[in-house]
Amino acid sequence: MTHPVFPELSGRRAFLTGGGTGIGLAIARALAAQGVAVAIADINLKSAEDAAAEIGNSAIAVEIDVRKRSSVEAAFSTALERLGDIDILIANAGVSTMQKALELTDEEWDFNFDVNTRGIFLTNQISGRHFSQKGSGCIVNTASLAAKVGAPLLAHYSASKFAVLGWTQALARELAPQGIRVNAVCPGFVKTGMQSREIEWEATLRGISPEQVFNEYVGQTPLGRIETPEDVADVVVFLCSESARFMTGQGINVTGGVYMT
């Protein structure tokens, strides 16, 4: 598949969290294909290093735990130093666990909120300060279909992702006067490691087979196939480009039509 070319992105520098696998890895590849130098930041340093090695010279790997301010500050300043500057933040690191709402533990709630919501707050604030200082920049947060509609067995995850959209809208309004755009993507049923784990959990919790769960996902998708990480990555690249210059505060559904508003 050929990627759209946005020449204005060539030479830009991006800080990407959760870039070692899944949607993040596809975003790293898609940005690199546009000539963007990418700092792939992940809690799993090995996966970030493998991704950077695959992508080549322009990519670097950085260790980060998006739950911790000191870790985000250290990773961001390492990336700034090694790439010379940062123009784009892709805040994509995320986790999900599946549990019935009535059986959810405090630990599970906190884990999802710490990575998915606090992680967005910290990465957006630290890079936002940098962008604000230099008077330009672009932020794309990974939200979810579950940020638009509450998903059963994912009440805690849904709540953590709804919060991401609220934050995205508010920050977009605060930073718009400086020309800094803040948007989010809302992926649906994407084929990643996270999805494999969710399918297994959902099958167990509902007492059906993983194949049945998978077929239900496809059946609910008007475009009639399972979503790929590349489907999401291409939209993220578009949101970083000048073609999206008048878009801010949006949560763009990339779901094959599963959710339409």
Instruction: Give CA–CA dist 132/156, Å, rounded.
Output: 32
Tokens of 85: 């500057």
> How many residues make contact with ligand ADP (CB under 6 A)?
23
Q: What secondary structure, in 3-state letters, does 112-162 show? A: HHHHHHHHHHHHHHHHHHHHHHHCCCEEEEECCHHHCCCCCCCHHHHHHHH
60 touches ligand ADP (CB under 6 A): no
CB 159 within 8 Å of CB 176: no
Residue of 143, 136, 139 lying closest to 116 (CA atoms): 143
Q: In sequence order, what are the residues at sequence separation of 6 or more whose Cβ sits closer than 8 angstroms to the Cβ of residue 165?
A: 143, 147, 148, 184, 186, 251
Least gap, CB of 194 to ligand ADP (angstroms): 3
Least gap, CB of 171 to ligand ADP (angstroms): 20
Which residues are identified as catalytic?
157
Of residues 8-47, those binding ligand ADP (CB under 6 A)? 17-18, 20-24, 42-44, 47
191 touches ligand ADP (CB under 6 A): no
- Show the site string, 77-116: x = touches ligand ADP by CB under 6 A, - = not: ----------------xxx-------------------x-
In 10 A of CB 259, how many CB atoms? Answer: 16
Least gap, CB of 116 to ligand ADP (angstroms): 9
Question: Quick one: how far is CA 141 from the chain centroid?
Answer: 5
Least gap, CB of 188 to ligand ADP (angstroms): 11
Of residues 206-235, those binding ligand ADP (CB under 6 A)? none
Least gap, CB of 144 to ligand ADP (angstroms): 8
Q: In sequence order, what are the residues at sequence separation of 6 or more whose Cβ sits closer than 8 angstroms to the Cβ of residue 223?
A: 256, 257
CA-CA-CA-CA torsion for 222, 224, 226, 229, nearest 10 degrees?
-70
151 touches ligand ADP (CB under 6 A): no
Question: Residue 8 or 230: which CB sits closer to ligand ADP?
Answer: 230
Judged by CB under 6 A, the residue of 193, 219, 222, 224 near ligand ADP is 193
Question: Residue 94 or 137: which CB sits closer to ligand ADP?
Answer: 94
CB 111 within 8 Å of CB 105: no
Q: Which residues bind ligand ADP (CB under 6 A)?
A: 17-18, 20-24, 42-44, 47, 64-67, 93-95, 115, 190, 192-194
